[in-house]
Amino acid sequence: MILLGIGVTAVYFLYGTLILSREKPLISPVSGQMKAEMLGIADSNQVNLKNAVENVLAGTKGTYAVAIKNLKTGESYFANEHKSFEAGSLYKLWVMAAVLSKIRDGTLSEEQVLSRDISALNEVFGIDSEVAELTEGKIALSVNDALTQMITISHNYAALLLTEKIKLSTVANLLKEKGFGESKVGRGDDVPHTTPYDIFLYFEKLYKGELAQPEDTEKMLVLLKNQKLNGKLPKNLPKDTVIAHKTGEIGWFTHDAGIIYSDKGDYIIVAMSETDKPAAAEERIARISESVYRYFTKF
């Protein structure tokens, strides 16, 4: 049994229950770290993908980072894409892939029921009772139901059940094997970190069928398309827009990332932020998504 440690690490499994009270310097989103890779734009005077993002970020405080790529045309834009952020519930993307790998090799089955006392899970993962979502009772879910709840509603105790079962080392091995070198699961007092680029790579590999076997790829996409937490990337998009995505929130950090499907070309968009006003950052992410959608679908 692998312990995830105590203190800050524990809040990754309880992102909705605690806002960290530390101060961090705010960094302008329009910085020298930003870069654009613009492909297929003939008129430099027209609004381009870079403008579509930076116009929304103009005047903001805090740290924002994005990774965007049109999977049909190859046009892309990256800003602060190698900056490390606390991952929040984006770590559940890794757990999902690792669990499906274990199902594939026969170690787990979708029907297998995982059952644990809440107090035991809190102890295993070092979750203090003062910040715990739950402190008593029992949780019992099939592997399939735990996967569904972990992704579609970001259920923290479903994630705990799965992570305890497959062990953190399995998730760490997946990061290494799939080339997500800028991400780490966090051990002891360290916490899960990732970058927009690694999350972008995750979705690109998923889209191309390079992350898992075809059946598992389809399973992951279906789960992500059924996401119920839609207050960021999908918020300002047309209601019938299909998007496979996962959110992440913890303390000052709020993120959303996924694949948006469009007749004009499917595209990946990753938006990550660290600000002292996460609610405002969520609205900013929604506006970035809207601006990028309008840019890609106007032609």
Average pLDDT over every residue of 157-163: 94
Residue 187 pLDDT more than 60?
Answer: yes
Per-residue pLDDT tens digits for 4-43: 433 334 444 454 433 333 333 333 444 434 444 333 333 3
Q: What is the mean pLDDT of the chain?
A: 87
Residue 15, number of CB atoms within 10 A of its CB: 21
pLDDT for res 189: 63
Per-residue pLDDT tens digits for 217-268: 999 999 999 999 999 999 999 999 999 999 999 999 999 999 999 999 999 9
Among 90-99, 184-193, 196-205, the least confident range = 184-193
Average pLDDT over every residue of 265-288: 98
CA pair distance 67, 34, nearest whole angstrom: 11
SS3 category, 198: helix
Average pLDDT over every residue of 202-207: 99
Among 5-19, 60-74, 162-176, 282-296, the least confident range = 5-19
* Residue ranges of domains in the chain: 7-297
Q: Length of the chain, please?
A: 299
Contacts of 80 (CB under 8 A, 6+ apart): 29, 31, 33, 34, 63, 64, 65, 66, 196
pLDDT for res 299: 59
Contacts of 224 (CB under 8 A, 6+ apart): 151, 244, 245, 246, 258, 259
289 or 119, greater pLDDT: 289
pLDDT for res 110: 97
Per-residue pLDDT tens digits for 118-134: 888 888 777 787 877 88
Nearest to 4 by CA among 190, 193, 250, 187: 187
25 or 85, greater pLDDT: 85
Assign domain 7-297 to its CATH architecture: 3-Layer(aba) Sandwich (3.40)
Among 123-127, 163-167, 170-174, 232-236, the least confident range = 123-127
Average pLDDT over every residue of 178-206: 93
Average pLDDT over every residue of 73-90: 98
pLDDT for res 127: 79
CB 75 within 8 A of CB 40: yes
pLDDT for res 132: 78
Among 20-34, 152-166, 262-276, the least confident range = 20-34
pLDDT for res 136: 87
CA pair distance 296, 116, nearest whole angstrom: 47
